[in-house]
């Protein structure tokens, strides 16, 4: 941003604000004025410490010295462009060109696409402009692989400087260059835009606002860093008195509000333990566990009861008596089985009678006889043995066989088996009766190994069962008949029922407790929550007091946040602009419009402030936008007027660059623009890039006027070839374009000392051919055509037409054309076919020069 002097110093407005805001604000203004840029973090910390001191929030009571009003002087310097050279990788600009600038006015003329805008973009890249977008590309269609680079020679406060642009770096000095192009028109006439130029020090408003924003951010972080939370607050229970107090802590919380919760007595501690034990017992999970356990106990009791009742049905006095009776009957049948056989067997010497094997044997024999169908065998004394077919002559043998068959066919044996079966059945049943009955659940408690304790009555029961089983197993008929049934079936069942009833009552009580548990548990838990939170609060009361203290500080900080508001600075900006800028800006703008013959255009203009920066608001009649109503020419004229108005407020001497400033303007206004820019070049360096021959001619003609006699004017024609653009050929000024002056320039080359001339033959030859080219052009324009038609001039002088010596022209035109073509091929920086191998030399130059002088004698 550029600056301008002011009648009243901007510091006056800044200091007015600082004095009303406090000592910290004075310190802020002092540092902003001294640096004119963003402050470093350490500076902000010092200012913020002063702010805390002013608001009574500083932890240190050390007094801060009174800050005095700062003095301000701009650090910006005057800039003058000297030369652009060593161009590489910038659009299609040809290498090896050197664009030298006049300290007053430099004009670069050329057709569209010839490269003049490429040079302009280099300058725009550094300066300030309504159009802030600048992108410099390399030759997108070429094969140049060099990195972007431009060498810029300039002067800063009269000192020579050189800056090498590498495509990305910046030059602070060149930021003072102001630039105007066609894109600036619609941006300049936008309904609202920031001013490019402001009074000296006006940028300090924006810097100050930025610093206030930075301090506000710092202030907010200080507030956010001030932790007013209690890390243990989340552990408090919902809706307890303590929780309500803690969540509602404010800067206004009083000591009497927290006193009731500061202590936790021994009595409250005992009460807490009692209620915890009560809720533990009233625990739904515990009760459900107890119910499950009681159900298991009852199930175990019913299991034992079922077993005992089963035993009672198996062991009755009747069954015992039947067992004894069967034992007696078995004994009698066994005796009957032995009668009649024994004596014979013994007499015959039959061994092992009565053994199972023998009995099996005689049974098999009887079955064999039956199979032989001898039912009465032996029926007579003549019978023979069915086994050995020997005659049974012995009477005793016959009797023995008859006894065997008699015994085998008797039912006694069957009766024995039947009775024996009954005895075995009862005996087996009794043996199967359990004598080790026990509880698997701890119905009657458990020992230290968590093994269920067995009650005495069950042990007694098991003992009586065991004794009875032994009695039955012994099969002592007499003892069994004398046995009295002593097994305590009924007593055992009665004791089991008694326990079952007791457990059932307990179960019912647990179930009832479970149904009302929620209400009981809720009441207990609420009381426990209150006590636990009171205990927690009593342990953390110091934290609470610290938070209250922080809340007071936080409130004070938040209350003072408004002190960092930028609104008062914006108000001061508006006041400063109204006093220092607005009236003069409007007056100057109207004068500029008048110089472009647009004083009747009804442009409305007001100013606004946006974050310390001034904005200009423009409109036509009833609030219409300028670019919606005005023609392109009118828009261009107004945009130029605004740009020149802002330049007038820039008291630095920095270059002003214009790229095609007269597009859409008629020839009358073009001449006025030329006049205005020539006038501007007296105040500051002016650089113009244009394709308008009218503007170029107007500047050339006006520059010869006595009004602009002191202006140093440099003009270039820029050309292109198939590969590159930006070939620069200097255009002579009207003062320099005389046949005698150019002739003298060439003669000076030949008059150089021989040594110097020989050392620079090629360069001097190229330079000489360039001058010879200009000499031919002046000869043709001014003498052969008698000034009828001139380059860079819009009118034709018909009155000189009759002075033309047409016969002489016919005589010399072919030769002159040939020499002119050779000049164009030899001059430095001009398009030159690569196939031309010969180079310019001084000898050839001398011959061509003499021939031109000879031709000129026919016309001069």
- Contact in structure between 691 and 110 (CB atoms under 8 Å): yes
| Residue 760's pLDDT band (cuts 50, 70, 90) | confident
Token pair recorded at residue 227: 């932790």
pLDDT 10s digits, 602-620: 777 777 766 656 667 777 7
pLDDT 10s digits, 13-37: 888 888 888 889 888 988 888 887 8
pLDDT 10s digits, 620-663: 766 666 666 677 777 778 878 888 887 777 767 889 999 888 88
pLDDT 10s digits, 839-860: 788 888 899 999 999 988 888 8
Query: Which pLDDT value is given to residue 6?
Result: 44
Range of lowest pLDDT (149-153, 454-458, 485-489, 804-808):
804-808
Query: Which pLDDT value is given to residue 388?
Result: 65
More confident: 41 or 368: 41
- Contact in structure between 149 and 167 (CB atoms under 8 Å): yes
* Model confidence at 45: pLDDT above 80: yes
Please compute the mean of the pLDDT values over residues 187-215 and round it to a whole number. Answer: 72
Percent of the chain with pLDDT over 70: 81
| Residue 103's pLDDT band (cuts 50, 70, 90) | very high
* Model confidence at 717: pLDDT above 60: yes
pLDDT 10s digits, 411-467: 666 788 888 888 888 888 888 899 999 999 989 998 888 899 999 999 999 999 999
Distance CA 366, CA 368 (A): 5
Distance CA 468, CA 314 (A): 12
Query: Which pLDDT value is given to residue 459?
Result: 92
Give the residue among 688, 798, 812, 707 at the shortest CA–CA distance from 109. 688
* Model confidence at 346: pLDDT above 80: no
* Model confidence at 301: pLDDT above 80: yes
Query: Which pLDDT value is given to residue 614?
Result: 65
* Model confidence at 107: pLDDT above 90: yes
Query: Which pLDDT value is given to residue 669?
Result: 84
Query: Which pLDDT value is given to residue 309?
Result: 92
Range of lowest pLDDT (576-585, 739-748, 827-836):
827-836
Distance CA 219, CA 51 (A): 10
Query: Which pLDDT value is given to residue 273?
Result: 92
Cα separations (Å) of 110 from 104, 117, 519, 539? 20, 10, 99, 89
Distance CA 615, CA 618 (A): 10
* Model confidence at 485: pLDDT above 80: yes
More confident: 438 or 63: 438
pLDDT 10s digits, 238-295: 999 999 998 999 989 998 888 888 889 999 999 989 888 877 776 667 777 888 988 9
Please compute the mean of the pLDDT values over residues 364-378 and round it to a whole number. Answer: 72
| Residue 661 neighbours by CB under 8 Å, 6+ apart | 180, 636, 640, 673, 677, 688, 690, 695
| Residue 345's pLDDT band (cuts 50, 70, 90) | low
Token pair recorded at residue 716: 């270039």
Helices of type H across 649-721: 667-683, 693-703
Instruction: Look up the pTM and report it.
Output: 0.53
Selection from 43-52, 201-210, 335-344 with the highest mean pLDDT: 43-52
| Strand pairing category for 603-610 and 613-620 | antiparallel
Quote the crossing angle between the two packed helices 842-856 and 739-750, to the nearest 10°.
150
In our burial notation (b when 16+ CB lie closer than 10 A, e otherwise), range 717-745 reads: bbbbeeebbbbbbebbbeeebebeebbeb
Range of lowest pLDDT (485-494, 509-518, 519-528, 564-573):
509-518
Range of lowest pLDDT (100-109, 506-515, 619-628):
619-628
Place of tokens 């409130």: 555
Percent of the chain with pLDDT over 90: 16
**Averaged pLDDT of the chain:** 81
Range of lowest pLDDT (68-82, 333-347, 555-569, 698-712):
333-347
């Amino acid at each position: 941003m550029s600056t301008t002097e002011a009648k009243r110093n901007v510091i006056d407005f800044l200091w007015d604000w600082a004095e009303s805001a406090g000592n910290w604000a004075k310190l802020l203004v002092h540092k902003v004025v001294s640096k004119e840029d963003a402050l470093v973090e350490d500076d902000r910390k010092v200012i913020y410490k002063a702010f805390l001191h002013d608001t009574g929030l500083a932890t240190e009571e050390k007094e801060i010295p009174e800050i005095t009003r700062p003095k301000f002087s701009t650090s910006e310097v005057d800039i003058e462009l000297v030369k652009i050279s060593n161009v590489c990788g910038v659009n299609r600009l040809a290498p090896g060109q050197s664009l030298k600038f006049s300290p007053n006015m430099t004009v670069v003329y050329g057709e569209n696409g010839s490269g003049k805008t490429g040079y302009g973009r280099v300058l725009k890249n550094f300066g300030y402009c309504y159009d802030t977008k600048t992108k410099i590309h390399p030759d997108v269609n070429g094969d140049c692989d060099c990195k972007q680079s431009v060498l810029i020679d300039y002067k800063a406060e009269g000192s020579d400087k050189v800056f090498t642009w590498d495509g990305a770096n910046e030059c602070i000095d060149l930021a003072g260059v102001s630039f105007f192009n066609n894109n600036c028109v619609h941006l300049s006439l936008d309904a609202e835009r920031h001013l490019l130029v402001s009074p000296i020090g006006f940028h300090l408003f924006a810097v100050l606002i930025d610093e206030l924003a930075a301090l506000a951010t710092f202030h907010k972080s200080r507030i956010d860093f001030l932790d007013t939370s209690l890390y243990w607050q989340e552990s408090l229970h919902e809706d307890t008195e303590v929780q309500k107090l803690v969540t509602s802590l404010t800067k206004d919380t009083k000591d009497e509000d927290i006193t009731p919760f500061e202590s936790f007595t021994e009595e409250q501690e005992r009460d807490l333990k009692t209620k915890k034990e009560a809720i533990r017992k009233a625990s739904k999970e515990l009760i459900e566990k107890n119910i499950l356990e009681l159900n298991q106990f009852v199930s175990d009791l019913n299991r034992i009861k079922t077993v005992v009742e089963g035993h009672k049905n198996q062991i009755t006095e009747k069954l015992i008596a039947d067992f004894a009776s069967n034992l007696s009957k078995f004994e009698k049948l066994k005796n009957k089985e032995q009668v009649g056989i024994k004596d014979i067997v013994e007499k015959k010497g039959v061994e092992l009678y009565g053994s199972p094997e023998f009995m099996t044997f005689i049974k098999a024999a009887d079955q064999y006889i039956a199979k032989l169908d001898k039912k009465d065998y032996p029926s007579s004394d003549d019978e023979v043995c069915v086994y050995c077919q020997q005659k049974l002559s012995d009477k005793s043998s016959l009797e023995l066989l008859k006894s065997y068959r008699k015994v085998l066919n008797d039912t006694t044996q069957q009766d024995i088996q039947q009775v024996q079966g009954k005895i075995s059945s009862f005996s087996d049943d009794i043996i199967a009766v359990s004598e080790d009955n026990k509880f698997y659940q701890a119905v009657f408690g458990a020992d230290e190994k968590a093994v269920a304790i067995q009650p005495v009555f069950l042990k007694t029961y098991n003992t009586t069962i065991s004794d009875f089983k032994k009695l039955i197993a012994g099969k002592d008929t007499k003892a069994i008949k004398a046995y009295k049934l002593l097994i305590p079936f009924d007593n055992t069942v009665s004791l089991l029922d008694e326990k079952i009833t007791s457990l059932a009552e307990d179960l019912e009580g647990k179930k009832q407790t479970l149904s009302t548990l929620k209400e009981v548990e809720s009441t207990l838990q609420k009381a426990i929550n209150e006590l636990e939170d009171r205990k927690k609060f009593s342990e953390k009361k110091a934290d609470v007091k610290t938070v209250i203290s922080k809340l007071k500080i936080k409130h004070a900080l938040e209350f003072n946040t408004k002190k960092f508001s930028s609104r008062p600075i914006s108000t001061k900006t508006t006041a400063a602009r109204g006093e220092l800028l607005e009236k003069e800006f409007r007056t100057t703008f109207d004068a500029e419009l008048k110089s472009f013959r647009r004083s009747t255009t009804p442009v409305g203009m007001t100013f606004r402030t946006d974050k310390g920066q001034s904005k200009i608001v423009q409109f036509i009649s009833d609030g219409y936008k300028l670019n919606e109503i005005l023609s392109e020419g009118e828009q261009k004229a107004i945009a130029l007027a605004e740009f020149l108005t802002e330049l007038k407020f820039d008291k630095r001497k920095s270059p002003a660059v214009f790229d095609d400033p007269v597009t859409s303007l008629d020839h009358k206004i073009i001449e006025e623009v030329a006049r205005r820019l020539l006038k501007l070049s007296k105040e500051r360096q002016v650089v113009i890039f244009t394709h308008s021959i009218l503007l170029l001619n107007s500047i050339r003609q006006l520059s010869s006027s006595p009004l602009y006699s002191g202006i140093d004017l440099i003009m270039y024609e820029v050309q292109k070839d198939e590969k590159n653009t930006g070939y620069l050929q200097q255009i002579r000024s009207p003062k320099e374009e005389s046949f005698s002056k150019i002739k003298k320039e060439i003669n000076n080359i030949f008059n150089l000392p021989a040594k110097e001339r020989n050392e620079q033959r090629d360069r001097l030859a190229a330079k000489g051919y360039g001058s010879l080219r200009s000499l031919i052009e002046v000869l043709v324009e001014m003498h052969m055509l008698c000034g009828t038609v001139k380059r860079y001039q819009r009118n034709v002088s018909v009155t000189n037409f009759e002075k033309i010596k047409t016969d002489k022209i016919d005589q010399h035109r072919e030769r002159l054309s040939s020499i002119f073509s050779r000049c164009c091929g030899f001059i430095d920086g001009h398009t030159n076919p690569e196939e031309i191998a010969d180079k310019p030399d001084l000898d050839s130059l001398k011959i061509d020069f003499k021939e031109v002088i000879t031709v000129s004698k026919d016309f001069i």
